[in-house]
Amino acid sequence: MEEICFLQAQRPVGQGGFQTGSLIRRVGRYPFVPVKEELPVFNWAYDCGSDQLSALTTEINKVSRVRFNVLFLSHLDSDHVVGVDQLLLTASGVDELVLPYLGDDDWTLHLAAAAAGGRLSGTLVDLAADPAGWFGARGVGRVVYIEAGDDNKESGRAVDGPDRIDPDSHMPEGNDEDLSRVGDDRQPSETKWSRPPRAIHQGDRSSGRAQVDLLGRGAVAAVRVNGRTLNWVLSPFAFKPPAKKMLLFKQQLEHHFGAGRTAKEYAAAARSAAGRRSLRACYDAVWRTHNLHSMALYAGPVTVPSGKLRNTAWHGRFVRRMVQPGWVSTGDFDASVQVRRDALLRYYSAYAPMVGQLSLPHHGSDLSFNSALLHAFPDLSCAIAAVGVNSHGHPGLGVQTAVAARPSIEFVRVDEFASSVYQIGGPVP
């Protein structure tokens, strides 16, 4: 007997984010027959960063031999991406990397924000100068940009939900032949996006440059294992800064640097003290916060599971059974902005009955939270704060109070201590 199971984990890296997931082919199923084999067939990750670098390194080393089919980056703040370089160089490989769309002005905005915050690194400068080359040199085959909307009401309502995915019948009784094949006959696992991409850069394997594609809002990655579309999707949803503020920022750039500059040219300017001062001045003239781009991710079933669920969640001393398998991760998403929050919840409403896990925005910050997040998912079991030692008051008391007011929801703190890891696993429905 054979089945495909899932295992998702919020890893204990402290003030940052590193979430991983796997689909596992299991031969034998307790309590009917002993498990004879467990083989990961599909792996993904969401963010890889932390302010507690020792804890982050420990967790990266645990997956050093894993090949990731896809890595999602919610945004480019260092506490979410500082470990990406190490992950790419130590993992067995990353086939596809997904992040919100970043054009020349967007990359420059991240350079300016990092300069203003005193966190500009040579790695970010190199990445902004040549994303296809930087990722390609580290083994990434394809970079996928997800088109993002801003806080404009019309933009927020342009796409009401993700594309529909129709999974194949999953492992019908008495016909496990496709999944039980071994050797060269077994087809590789893959993400199958719901719409064709627009090519930005063709890529060149001989020179180590990644292919770069753009996908419109609503695109969904279905997971295919050995030629079958499973009842499991990875569904991103991205936002960008308001267009009016981006226009003001562009005007500041033209004032300080002249018109028509590329991200590569701004990155070159960032290598000098004078250039960094000018970038900082452009940022300070428009923004007072650096939570600029964001990309949420739903990982879970695409159709509501029927029958009794057999999922199990582990965290510290508690083990919870029968929780929904779906997981919404929010990065530093600012849910205090109503238009943005409403767009997020409307977009994921089709998945809401399957969501049992919610990674709270911005490490459980009071400033990025609204209690509507807890009411949007009827079977939500765990509200997770990825948090470590910090000076920002994360997780906020207001957030913890709001979760405590919902007896069916457990507040889960995942910090830099190994015992705080949160995991959930079970059969793919």
* pLDDT tens, position by position, 327-379: 999 999 999 989 899 999 999 999 999 999 999 999 999 999 999 999 999 99
Which token pair is 289? 């916060």
Distance, in Å, from the CA atom of 169 to the CA atom of 421, rounded to the nearest integer, reads: 33
- Structural domain spans, the chain: 2-427
Per-residue pLDDT, 305? 77
Specify the higher pLDDT residue, 35 or 94. 94
Rounded mean pLDDT, 256-270: 96
Predicted pLDDT of residue 158:
52
Mean pLDDT value of segment 47-69: 95
CB proximity list for 81: less than 8 A, separation 6 or greater: 47, 48, 49, 73, 75
Q: How far apart are CA 372 and CA 302, in angstroms?
A: 22
Answer whether 407's CB lies under 8 Å from 415's CB.
no
Residue 211's closest CA among 135, 287, 262? 135
Cα(363)–Cα(279) distance, integer angstroms: 28
Q: What whole-number percentage of the chain has pLDDT above 90?
A: 72
**Mean local confidence (pLDDT), 18-47:** 76
Instruction: Name the nearest CA neighbour of 189 among 41, 304, 57.
Output: 41
Largest CA distance in the chain: 71
Angstrom distance (rounded) from CA 131 to CA 329: 24
Partners of 212 in beta bridges: 143, 201
Span 394-403, average pLDDT:
96
How far apart, in whole angstroms, are the C-alpha atoms of residue 144 and residue 161? 19
Per-residue pLDDT of 143-152, as tens digits, reads: 999 999 876 6
Residue type, 350: A
161-217 residue pLDDT tens: 999 999 986 443 333 334 334 333 456 788 999 999 999 988 887 788 999 999 999
Average pLDDT of the chain, as a whole number: 88
User: Residue 33 pLDDT > 80, yes or no?
Assistant: no
Residue whose token pair is 């790695």: 123
